[in-house]
Amino acid sequence: MNNLIVATTIVAIATAAQLPSAKYLPGDSGVGPTGSDYGNQLDGNRRQEGNGNTRPQQALEKSAAILKMSNEANENGFQYSYETSNGIQAEESGNAVQTQGGFSYKGDDGQVYTVTFTAGENGFRPEGAHLPVPPPTPVEILLALKQNEQDEAAGIFDDGLYHPENNENGGKAGQRSTGRGFGSANHQGNYNPNSGYSY
């Protein structure tokens, strides 16, 4: 029985390791791990000349040269910058606690995209005209946060649990509170069955 399980496992692993065909492999950019253009040496089943992951800027990027480069590091921090012939520029400086820098590149649409950033205690903070920004916080949320701050300053904390002992009728089942006494756990408002909450 054990021999059958071992044999079945070996066959399953060997079958799973085989690729179904050369067509299964995705196209590549034509640049192999050794920097040679090995993609054009394959037959037509996998990749044909001009197909695969090609982008308008790819021809320039393949032969981009480094135009400028500086790199300094010492016990106080580091600084580096570089510029390439295809329009990429980058710079960064900082230390073990805080860094700042930026980079720019020419997109496939011909526009230059620039990102500046800081990184440190507050995480990575990128900024750029093309990056999305969050929508403004709704006024209702801002008012609720302000109310929470006021309550906490007054020593009122909402633990998120219902506390029947804080109800006007002592938490007795089947009895409704009228007017005062029934509200959130931190007594922010009162509930009236006819008009709702009042604050």
pLDDT tens by residue, 86-95: 889 999 999 9
Predicted confidence (pLDDT) at residue 39 exceeds the cutoff of 70 = no
Q: Which residue has the higher pLDDT, 105 or 29?
A: 105
Question: 73: pLDDT confidence band, cut at 50, 70 and 90?
Answer: very high
Report the pLDDT value the prediction gives residue 106, as an integer from 0 to 100: 87
* Lookup result for tokens 């995480």: 123
Which residue pairs, CB below 8 angstroms and at least 24 apart, start in 29-35?
Answer: 29/53, 29/54, 29/58, 31/62
**pTM of the entire predicted model:** 0.45
Number of other CB atoms surrounding residue 143 within 10 Å: 11
Write the CB contacts of 71 (distance below 8 Å, at least 6 apart in sequence): 78, 79, 80
Question: 67: pLDDT confidence band, cut at 50, 70 and 90?
Answer: very high
Question: 182: pLDDT confidence band, cut at 50, 70 and 90?
Answer: very low
Domain ranges within the chain, ordered by starting residue: 21-54, 64-127, 139-198
Burial class (CB in 10 A: 0-12, 13-18, 19+), 21: exposed
Report the pLDDT value the prediction gives residue 142, as an integer from 0 to 100: 93
Predicted confidence (pLDDT) at residue 57 exceeds the cutoff of 80 = no
Predicted confidence (pLDDT) at residue 179 exceeds the cutoff of 70 = no
Lowest mean pLDDT among 18-32, 71-85, 139-153: 18-32
